[in-house]
Structure 1
Amino acid sequence: MNLTNIKVLVVEDDADINRLLCHILAAEGLTAVPAFSGSEAELRLSLEAYQLVLLDLMLPGVAGEALIARIREQSTVPIIVISAKSTLEDKVSLLRLGADDYITKPFDQEEVMARVHAQLRRLQYAPVQENGGETAELRGLFMDKGRREITLNNEPLALTKYEFEILALLLSRPDHIFSKSELYRKIWQGTYLGDDNTINVHISNLRAKFAAVTEEEYIRTVWGIGFKLV
């Protein structure tokens, strides 16, 4: 993978951990930019584009959870949370909020880089192509794949990268029932092992965002098979 011009924002208030993460990233050829508070991270994100964010939760200024929500209001940049919080509830909550991955402290350096590379690969091979002329529409749901914008009944929806890609895939074949295995293979570029809750979390998140605008059903679960648009 060509890592030229890949910039990673490292948001961690512990100077030693921030320095270590930046060193790990730089050793792999990535440009690592440190931020030591949620407020500083928000400022840096407003000034330039990043391809990935590594994020602690316990931050001065703006807490990590609030920062994730603010980022997702305007960006689909991948976010990897690195935190001492380790319960399943914490992880599920952060995925619902918009994080793309989660690493528990204390972390292994090789695991950090493996997950960083995984996110960058998914970003590079995202199934939605940057084609400004490609759009899709279904019952008031309108997607501009090139601009990566979506509206429902003329109301803009703020979707995470993976929520957008799942919806784009469903819209590409509205009559097709996509199995979890098929969704995982096409979007996460891996083999679905059958015990991963990732897809359910993102589907649930999409439904919640639709429900905030309309009572109409858009994504139906076909029990024992998968998901389809209706």
Structure 2
Amino acid sequence: MARKILIVEDDPDINALLARIMQQQGYEIVQAYSGTEGLLRVEGDAFDLVLLDMMLPGADGTAFVSRLRGELRSGTPVIVVSAKAGLSDKVDMLSLGADDYIVKPFEPEEVAVRVQAVLRRSEGTSHAAAESGDGEERYVFKDLELNAATRRVTLGGCEIVLTASEFDILRVLIQAPDKVFSRERLYEMVWRSGYYGEDNAINVHVSNIRKKLAAVCPGEEYIKTVWGIGFKLS
């Protein structure tokens, strides 16, 4: 069955272009032209991924992701596609729970590759029940436990809800807890595509992981920054 992608973009030409790119990759497409329409779509149907503009009528991109991750408690991957190229815009959206951020104007090949990468990472979440079984791939570090088959993370027995990007970053780190990973290496291993200089994306996702772990265990550090190099488990 083809993956279903929701495109939320108010510019008809860009919406149509994104639709063509996705259809050429074999995806099923649903189009929305405002944030409000996009939210109605996700409330009434299941999607494998959302391509989201920032500046939208009705609910803007920030409000869309906030409601998706908050009130709707949805883990559907979101890739922001926006003309807003400021560092603060990227940080804000990634901090809210967006999985990736593409700046307009974009190359069709980049959009296709990034969608493929995010869908690859989220596949384990959507098919967790089918993948669980006797051969579970589990990692334990201190009180932190990661189950790769079910894509479930617990800390001291309390479940930690991570986005697809956050889970895969933590999975890389916990597989080799004594190794320091550069931001570039983490990006390449998690996104499995060309490195786009997105050091900041890694920083924000690691910060999100730290906050979620600290909310459960505030007195313990689990991810250490090795200045000038990258990150490792602490």
Tell me the TM-score normalised to structure 1 length.
0.78
1:26-48 residue CA offsets vs partner (Å, 9 max, x unmatched): 24433211123334323433444
Name the count of aligned residue pairs: 224
What is the CA–CA distance in structure 2 between the aligned matches of 1:201 and 1:122, rounded to whole Å?
Answer: 16
Match of 1:115 in 2: 111
Query: How far apart are 1:171 and its partner, in Å?
Result: 1.6
Contact 1:82 1:102 in 2 (8 A): yes
Which ranges in structure 2 are unaligned for 5 or more consecutive residues?
A: none
Identity %, equivalent residues: 46
Report the TM-score, using the length of structure 2 for normalisation: 0.77
Partner SS, residue 212 of structure 1:
helix
Shift of the 40–196 alpha-carbon distance from structure 1 to 2, 3 Å rule, reads same
Q: Specify which structure has the higher proportion of helix.
A: 2
- Which residue of 2 is the match for residue 7 of structure 1? 4
Between 162-171 and 181-190, report the one with greater CA deviation.
Answer: 181-190
Equivalent residue for 1:218?
A: 222
Q: Which runs of 5+ in 1 are unaligned?
A: none
Q: In 1, distance between residues paired with 2:80 and 2:197?
A: 24
Which digits, 9 at most, give the CA deviation of each residue in 1:79-111, with x for residues without a partner? 221223232211222222222333334x34xx1
Equivalent residue number for residue 100 of structure 2 = 101
**Alpha-carbon deviation of 1:165?**
0.3
User: Equivalents in 1 of 2:182, 2:175: separation in Å?
Assistant: 15
Question: Which residue is equivalent to 2:232?
Answer: 228
Q: Report the Cα distance in structure 2 between the residues aligned to 1:198 and 1:164, rounded to whole angstroms.
A: 14
CA distance in 2, matches of 1:16, 1:194: 28
Q: Deviations over 1:11-34 (max 9, x none)?
A: 123444433432343244332111
SS of residue matched to 1:146: coil
Q: CA separation of 1:18/1:206 partners in 2, compared to 1, >3 Å: closer, same or farther?
A: same
Distance 1:176 1:102, change over 3 A: closer
Q: CA RMSD in A?
A: 3.1
